[in-house]
Structure 1
Amino acid sequence: MPPVLAAASVLLLPALVLTAAASDVATFRIPNWIPLALIAAFPLAALAAGLSLPAVGVHLAVAAAALALGMAMFALRWMGGGDAKLFASVALWMGWPATLTFVGAAALAGGALAILLLSLRSAAVRPLVLTGPRWVSRLADPAEAIPYGVAIAAGALAALSASPFAHVLGL
């Protein structure tokens, strides 16, 4: 595969997770087409990275485990359905052991996001934020959820250099 095409196929991951994060911030929703596009693009990226069939099998197993974990967190109302699907589709790309980096980075980013939103939603800051754009005032609304797609995207970007796709991009 030509290097430019290989790099383009791998760059779909950051492009799609950033799109998911932006959508989650603006609408508190991650469209289904984003995780589906990540899943559909994975075989091309795996080919570009030269993954063997057993390695692809490990990636599929990691994704299945991540989907089960995401579904459990959704059932417990710890994350939304779009977050769970995005989490699993990113885990498909990360494989093992890069998923550990991904989960750790996403957890740290989620903690930072929660602190930021608690600050925005505080009695001192919230009145100032309400004068901004609608999407910002929704972020400051204590009744709203946390757009965890942002943390998942941050985890994916942080873990990309630990993934089997890093060499395709020269990371």
Structure 2
Amino acid sequence: MHAIQIPLLLIFPALVIVAALKDVTSYTIPNWISLALLVAFVPAAVVSGASLPAIGLCLATGFGALLLGMGMFAAGWIGGGDAKLFAASALWIGWPAAFPFMLSTGLAGGALTMAILALRSGWLEPVLAGSPSWLRKLGAQGGDIPYGVAIAVGALATFPQGALASAILG
């Protein structure tokens, strides 16, 4: 059974890493990533052996995170792709690991913001001149913060505590 469980479980970290890389290089998180996470959750939940109440809590957690993400998007704090990635990640992580996920994401977001502010401080301007275009854009004054990176860090940090990973890993 592990021959099926582990590859299905690895879909989550692979897709959140792809989302983070896309966000940092293009400031977008394609819809297909969040949709793939949503679709892959069903077979992963079934083969993980998670109970129906645990799966229900995952669904409720994902829905609650979607509402929270929509609110943060409406307030202008995060982008639409970030909100969808946040909800899809919360779906996989479930309850009660949702709070550590949000805390880890918030801490990672603070660290990311501080790093980007340092990058934009002007001290590294000579280094940025010869860097790839995505890094120059990241270092440009007044630019956005690719919060998908923070969501991915929070998701990866808490995924082992999540409902599906716990069902498989014990």
Does the pair score TM above 0.5?
yes
CA contact (8 A) 2:30 2:81 kept: yes
1:19-58 mapped onto 2 (5 Å cutoff): 19-58=18-57
Q: Aligned partners of 1:109 and 1:84: how far apart in 2? A: 16
Length-normalised TM-score, structure 2 = 0.95
Aligned-residue Cα RMSD (Å) equals 1.4
What residue number does 1:113 align with?
112
1:57-136 mapped onto 2 (5 Å cutoff): 57-136=56-135
Q: CA offsets per residue over residues 95-145 of structure 1, 9 Å max, x none?
A: 111111111111111111001100000022234213211010011012221
SS in 2 for 1:97: coil
Moved over 3 A (4+): 167-171
Q: Aligned partners of 2:143 and 2:81: how far apart in 1? A: 15
Show structure 1 runs of 5+ residues with no match.
Answer: none
Q: Aligned partners of 1:99 and 1:127: how far apart in 2? A: 41
Show structure 2 runs of 5+ residues with no match.
Answer: none
How far the C-alpha of 1:45 sits from its partner, in A, is 1.0
Return the letter of the residue paired with 2:156: L
Q: Aligned partners of 2:85 and 2:165: how far apart in 1? A: 20
Q: Aligned partners of 2:168 and 2:114: how far apart in 1? A: 33
Q: Aligned partners of 1:119 and 1:12: how far apart in 2? A: 33
State the number of aligned residues.
170
Q: Aligned partners of 2:52 and 2:169: how far apart in 1? A: 23
How far the C-alpha of 1:167 sits from its partner, in A, is 4.2
How far the C-alpha of 1:85 sits from its partner, in A, is 0.2
Q: Aligned partners of 2:72 and 2:129: how far apart in 1? A: 31
Using a 3 Å threshold, how does the CA distance of structure 1 residues 161 and 124 change in structure 2: closer, same or farther?
same
CA contact (8 A) 1:7 1:168 kept: no
Length-normalised TM-score, structure 1 = 0.94
What residue number does 2:142 align with?
143
1:161 equivalenced with 2:148 (yes/no): no
Percent identity of equivalent pairs: 48
What residue number does 1:7 align with?
6
